[in-house]
Structure 1
Amino acid sequence: MYEQLINKEAKLAVIGLGYVGLPIALAFAKKIKVIGFDINAKRVDLMRNNIDPSGELESSDFEGADIEFTHDLEVLREAQFFIVAVPTPIDEHAMPDLKPLLGASTSVGKVLKKGDYVVFESTVYPGCTEEDCVPVLERESGLKFMEDFKVGYSPERINPGDKEHTLAKIVKVVSGCGKESAEEIAKVYELVIDAGVHRASTIKVAEAAKVIENTQRDLNIALMNELSIIFDKMNINTYDVLEAAGTKWNFLRFQPGLVGGHCIGVDPYYLTYKAKAMGYDAKVILSGRSTNDNMGAYLANKLVKMMIKGGKNISQTKVLVMGATFKENVEDIRNSKVVDVIRELESFGVTVEVVDPYANSEELKHEYGFGLVAEPGKDYDAVVVAVPHAPYKELEEDYFKSLMNGSPILVDLKGILRDRIKDITYTSL
């Protein structure tokens, strides 16, 4: 397969052209022939015009790419090597939602041929590729796994907004359904991964490696969040504590915060779901998840108490929330925990207005039921800097004073302004 691809006698297809799929598709398209497939026709039209719908890539990133963007399944039949990079979210009950993944498997199965390869990049629980996706491929294609087609798993490591740790610079974990297939898949990925690839022993090992990467981060952030709650009761600034503790060479430099997005706040639930199915309750992981999932409400309640202490009538207060994306300097609003802050404040009768230099107001309305105001107003009782976007880091105390009325309160969630706020009542996580 590798030889066919590099000789351009075969085509590689990427299914799902979001934050993960599009960079991969374009990287391969600089080396081999690629089909970029997405079911969203509007997104496909944008990419045909060198526009990344996610706002992560520049038009120049499309230059020199031998790629055909399509939403037509018939075009997908021309490929022999398929990479599936669709989202794997959770539902309202924190259960894995495999509909996008199984839908993509159905599409690939319809066009699968003898000798083809299918590699999954979507984050899943160990066993999902072989137990859930492969049967769909077999059913739709009428082919036999291992005999007629090969499958692998290579977990994505795309970090939205990160211009340093890009696709080519991060070691790629790869795996296959056997030694031969694993080696072929590894050689294909080595075309675009300068940092090299790690050959996992099995598909399940690769799946498990991915899901624990974000579970580990989730637990470390949960510890920081719990410490921030404790230190707040002691009237100690958490970031001052972390700065002091960070002088030790082996201290892990995690910070408290709202844990949202499509990875850290989601992936642990895939692992705990599978653990539950195997008869084990993952107490430590779920405890961390509970801590992180409740931080938005905690922050909102903390602000409400501060406003009450300041003599405010809560039902008549107005709060400005700055930042609505799940992390700084990105457009991505998926699983944004800022929403939890907003909803909790509104449950007390607080009027909340939201600004964000990156987020799309219509997408926020569609996803969460609120939009953005064009510009901040005046007379706010409090301002919450919820996301440390780059433009917010440049703001001075006088700017926040100009937005607020008497007894102003500034909630600086990530502590980015703590050294320059002197006259405003100030708090952070």
Structure 2
Amino acid sequence: MSSAIAVAPVLVHQAIREHRSGRMDAASALYTRALEFDPTDPDALHLLGALHIQRGDAVAAVPYAAKAVLVEPAAHLAYNNLGLILKGAGQPGAAARCYRQATLIEPDFADGHSNLGVVVKADGQMALAVKHFRRAIEIDPSLGEAWNNLGNALQELGETEGAVEAYLTAADCLPDNDTVHYNVGLLLIGVGCRDDALIHLRRALELDPDREDAAHLVAALEGKTTVTAPRSYVRQLFDFYAARFDAHLVGDLRYQAHRGVVDLVNVIAGSDRRFALGYDLGCGTGLAGALVRERTGVLIGIDLSERMLLQADSKRIYDTLICADIDATLDTYDAAPDLVLASDVFIYIGELDGTIERIARRMAPGGLFSFSVELAAEGVPWFLRASGRYAHGDRYVSQCLSENGLRLLATRPIIVRHERGEPLDGAVYVAVKPTDDGTPV
């Protein structure tokens, strides 16, 4: 070993001390200096890449991790590390190749199988993902991340019983992981185990008091009514369900709100009226939009969930798709729609006045606004169900419309969906924004 190369481990040792103390600039300088003495030092390459990851710069980390693989081509950990960095740099395909190589070098590498499962799942290869998660668990039954990933995959596949078992095992392995407890709680709500769900959701909130999604569901299960669901909760919920949303909602839950909203528009408007500009609020995958496409000149879909919009985009229903909060969009865009749809939107908004005011202000005179709600008992303005969705009273809905200058034209009861086989009562409404002379349409 030359004297120059012998210096590198000393510098790496000093860099590690700085790194552990949080002095990133000093650590980076020492790792870099070590590589000047020995460009092949595996520890310096690995740790300098890790430092860039800690700084949020995965792209800068890639060359160091890639060189570490060249230095140690038989090291499965080097390939796994490069895979993690490439995934963070937005290169999932390259990451998958690295994870696959790591598992070829070391077939019993549990983390490698779990990581590979994550990237192939994101690519839609659910069966292959499950295979790798199960292999990871077979190798290391205490690997909580793999159990959680398996639960996630099984839930997306609709295998609820297996998903619950996997999540509960993950919670046993990772008792201090708030995400795992949240996943357990959310799924337990869906299968009706509300007491157990509350235990896990309270634990998630205890571990991370800033989790708005957990706080929302805890409030729902404790019977507390709030003003609105956190946007982060709604976005996460629909991003998760996007790939199987239509099949689950329409097929499994027999969802009909979108049809009810459009059917009542058809009754009021007749078959001849065409709309110049339509807003489909909370458009999701385009279930309602598809039903009004032929009679609407320009149709704009607005939704919080990027993944739902990707599904909608693939159907070529909308002229424009906007990934944003509804209220923010209504405040920003000055176009005046003569048709506004909101199917299953208000179930995530308790206090409706602010949103309805924005809709009324933005609408063109003579425009129609059609929407659905889950119905609350008479005399209750709104309340938060244990499901995490809001129900609204008919009198409150009518009041919000009239106080914001909209005239109610028609309402009809519907079964919006089924929950665990039981029908859920709702209603659809159509209101109009009167013209300047007071004419309704």
Sort the TM-score into its range (normalised by shorter chain). 0.3 to 0.5
TM norm structure 2 = 0.39
* Higher relative helix content: 2
**TM-score after normalising by structure 1:** 0.39
Name which structure has the greater RCO, CA cutoff 8 Å, separation 6+. 1
- Quick check: which has more Rg, 1 or 2? 2
